[in-house]
Amino acid sequence: MTSGDVQKSPRFVYLQVAPLVLVLFFFFAIPVALVILVSFFHYQMLVGMVPQFTSKNYVDLLSSPTTWALYLSTVKFTVIVLIITFVLGFWIAYFLVFHVRNLLTAIGLFLVCTVPFWTSNIIRMISWRPVLGKEGLINSGLIKVGIVSHPLDWLLFSDFSVVVAYVHLFTLFMIVPIFNSMARIDKSLLEAATDAGATRWGVVWNVVLPLSKTGIALGALFVVTLTMGDFFVVTVISGGLSGSATSGIFNDLQFLNYPRAAANAVILLVVVLLVAAAIFRLVDVRKELVR
Amino acid sequence: MNKDSASLAGRRISRRSVLKSSATIAASTAVTGFPTVWAQNLKDVTLNHTGMSYSTLADIAKQATKDLGFKVDMSVVDHPGLTNRMVNDPKSIDIADMEIWQSKIMIPQGVTQAVEIAKIKNWGDLTPLYTEGVFAGKEVSRQGDSPIKFMYRDAKDGKSFVKGPTAWASFVPGVYNADTLGIRPDLVGRPITTWADLIAPEFKGKAAIQNIPAIGIMDAIMAMEAAGVVKYADKGNPTKDELDKTISKLIELKKGGHFRALWNTFDESVNLMAAGEVVIQSMWSPAVTAVKTQGVKCVYQPLKEGYRGWGNGLGLMAHLDGLKLAAAYEYVNWYNSGWVGGFVAKQGYYSANPKTAKAALTENERGYFYEGKPATADITSPTGEKTDSAGAVRDGGSYEERFSKVGVWNNLMDQAEFMIAQWNAFSAA
């Protein structure tokens, strides 16, 4: 038997996938199953969860206007952040791939994009405060120059500041996959398009954009999951004035209300899975990746 | 991340030492039939003290380790973190530095064992605020979770609270204080005298409230009652209807832009105040001290409706026995023997044993922190930065004056589940 035969034998294939299956089973399937199980438990004040079947948690959550308001706010942030990070990510990647001729320079610039990630994301986020605050850099600058007489309140602890922080934190997650997709585009395709009479915009719209859609889909997936699952950024940067789907979970945990927190987590999971399914529906990432 | 790995490391050490120590006990008991070698082996013990950031201080662990000869580790969590850890991972904690209302969850579940009062050396010196429910000869407010309501149990593993002194305490009294609003005297523009000022229209966009539901709601209740917006039969245990009205008003205020922020952590409240984002807000005493050390004027303003009191208790976790339990008793005795009292006084807190705490302070500090006298020299924080100058008098006056005016205690209300749901609505609004 040659080594090629061994590698093709079904037993060997099972062995090859076994580590991944085991990891997914123990660290993904079991925990999620537990969360789903707990989400149907009863909650008793001062005690915590009582293993008794109830669908009350879901009924309560889905019929509460608070849940809807929190999800609405989370979805709003997600959409805004997705659009801004896409526009930024696409053009930064485009610049790096097609405008910087020297590969070394391109890689160097790409690394520069990652510099902020050398510090913790808490620091990156908190550092917006002295910039956007009432006595912050922007406000004191504007007042000194005489553009405004009172500091602008809406710069910090507002939806605006939350979006700024998200964009700052998550744009790289858009740049990387798009950069990756664009780098695989054969440059001669662009030349052919130009030779065939396409305008610059035509090239971007008809050649680059369709060929980068895998990267866009992956980037969008990152940004959506990060934003929807976020609790910390929105709490800190909005000064606690905006909530997110996750902040409800956090509050429930304060008094051991695991069942309702679990139900909330399951709802969030379903929502994120639906969004992911929609993205994959638009782009067949698997097919594109093996291209 | 760091917190987790630190506590993991702590756990590993303590487990190992438990094994080691139980082995020695077994050996010694076998030989002599009496565990006399405890004193010598105590140095192998590691105790884990877990609690909230304001009282679980690394300096205390350092001093305890030095004074007691065995290792004390500190592990800092927030209120929900402590509640969750005590219930789900009780063996990772030896001494739980819980707030009194948390014992309402823990004791019925048997998470902590009762403290044998006979083994607490200076029990008689501990403040009657905890042990008798009286202070300076007067009955302490019973609104909310007043310490005396939860002080005693009927047996070592008793699962309910009992009235009046027994031989078993639910916890060893820890640090406590009376909280009020913090203000920026240079920016409020007028004297602040009532909790109602927290929601006064003139401070629109310059006020903040803490976003810790169990405590934030109490600040809101104090303000609403003072402003005459909502009437409460018992502020310490409001009804659904009262909570509903309180939260509706909070939401109305939030939508109108009254709150500049809702703060979640101690340092957020410090930054809000120091940066001038906010001029009046919920605050904790050490946060006021922290603002002052930055050279910014900040007053922990006494108000006519009184203070929101709170207290901590050191609970002995149920798993403690043998050598480790002996070490735990040594530690809790040490805790109220003076050094800690002196240390926490400088961040604005009080020790359950005022006698030893006062002895650990200089005459100047004693006068300033406990007796309401003007400082005769600079006052410093526990870490040595200047917080007040000679001649200054502490906000709220003496210890006696302050604690005679507690209006309500931090609590876990009967309607907590409803309250949390309502608070979520406030967060989402």
Determine, yes or no, domain membership for A67: yes
Is residue A49 included in any domain, yes or no?
A: no
User: Within chain B, which residue ranges are assigned CATH 3.40.190.10?
Assistant: 2-176+309-359, 181-305
A41 domain-assigned: no
What's the pLDDT tens digit per position in B178-231? 999 999 999 999 999 999 999 999 999 999 999 888 899 999 999 999 999 999
* Residue B118 CA: distances (Å) to CA of B164, B168, B280: 16, 9, 46
CB-defined contacts A:B, below 8 A: 101
Fold of B181-305: D-Maltodextrin-Binding Protein; domain 2 (3.40.190)
In angstroms, the separation between the Cα of residue A239 and the nearest Cα of chain B is: 4
* Domain limits for position A140: 59-289
pLDDT > 90 in chain B, percent = 76
> Domain containing A197 — which CATH number?
1.10.3720.10
Q: Which residues pair with B260 in a beta bridge?
A: none
* pLDDT score of B13: 45
pLDDT computed for residue B363 by the predictor = 94
Query: Å from B241 to nearest chain A CA?
Result: 18
Mean pLDDT confidence for A108-118:
86
| pLDDT tens profile B90-142 | 999 999 999 999 999 999 999 999 999 999 999 999 999 999 999 999 999 99
Is residue A132 in a domain? yes
Residues A136-144 have a mean pLDDT of 91
Domain assignment present for A51: no
Which class for A234: exposed (0-12), middle (13-18), buried (19 or more C-beta within 10 A)? buried
Whole-number pLDDT of residue B397: 87
H or E element that contains B9: helix B2-32
CB B178 within 8 A of CB B349: no
- Is the residue at A50 inside a domain? no
pLDDT at B11 over 80: no
**Cα(B135)–Cα(B142) distance, rounded to whole angstroms?**
12
Of B7-16, B102-111, B321-330, give the lowest mean pLDDT range.
B7-16
The class that CATH gives domain B2-176+309-359 is: alpha beta
Residue A182 lies in a domain: yes
This prediction's pTM: 0.81
B259 in contact with A, Cβ within 8 Å: yes
Question: What would the two tokens of residue B50 be?
Answer: 């877990």
Flag whether residue B253 sits within 8 Å of chain A, measured between CB atoms. Answer: no
Rg (C-alpha) for chain B, rounded Å, is 22
ipTM above 0.85, yes or no: no
**A47 touching B, CB under 8 A?**
yes
Selected for mutation to probe chain A from B88, B244, B277 (highest A CB count within 10 Å) is B277
Query: Has residue A15 been placed in a domain?
Result: no
User: How many independent structural domains does chain A possess?
Assistant: 1
Note the pLDDT of residue A2.
54
